[in-house]
Amino acid sequence: GENVEQHPSTLSVQEGDSAVIKCTYSDSASNYFPWYKQELGKRPQLIIDIRSNVGEKKDQRIAVTLNKTAKHFSLHITETQPEDSAVYFCAATSSFRDNYGQNFVFGPGTRLSVLP
């Protein structure tokens, strides 16, 4: 089955600096990779996603890159702000898999702290 690893587990950056979180996956059939942000005690919220037919996607200060050959994808946050502090989860799934009894496979999470 799919296995998703995520690094680092914790990350502290100064406000205004960039933050990068990297995930690796094992199943070459995975073709959809979302990123979720979860603030303490709240629901995970989708912040950006990427499909296997593109290598990079950007939305304002957030970008995701995908390297299918190496089976890794990364979240990039530029000009970090204190409100970016949260736990970030990556996930991997296949459009052919997730509605047949198997789900997104989530990484263990990265706790990002943006220091003012």
Partner 1 sequence: GAVVSQHPSRVICKSGTSVKIECRSLDFQATTMFWYRQFPKQSLMLMATSNEGSKATYEQGVEKDKFLINHASLTLSTLTVTSAHPEDSSFYICSANTGGGQPQHFGDGTRLSIL
Min. distance of Cβ 66 from partner 1 in angstroms?
Answer: 14
Q: Which stretch binds partner 1 (CB under 8 A): 21-29, 61-69, 71-79, 106-114?
A: 106-114
Q: Is 85 in the site for partner 1 (CB under 8 A)?
A: no
Q: Is 27 in the site for partner 1 (CB under 8 A)?
A: no
Q: Is 81 in the site for partner 1 (CB under 8 A)?
A: no
Buried b (16+ CB within 10 A) or exposed e, 37-51: beeeeeebeebbebe
Q: Are 114 and 81 in contact (CB under 8 A)?
A: yes
Q: Are 113 and 11 in contact (CB under 8 A)?
A: yes
Min. distance of Cβ 65 from partner 1 in angstroms?
Answer: 19
How far apart CA 11 and CA 44 sit, in angstroms, is 18
- Find the binder of partner 1 among 22, 27, 49, 62 (CB under 8 A): 49
| CA within 13 Å, CB half, 112 | 31
Q: Is 93 in the site for partner 1 (CB under 8 A)?
A: yes
Q: Are 18 and 80 in contact (CB under 8 A)?
A: yes
Interface positions with partner 1 (CB under 8 A): 31-32, 34, 36, 41-46, 49, 51, 89, 93-99, 101-104, 106-109, 111
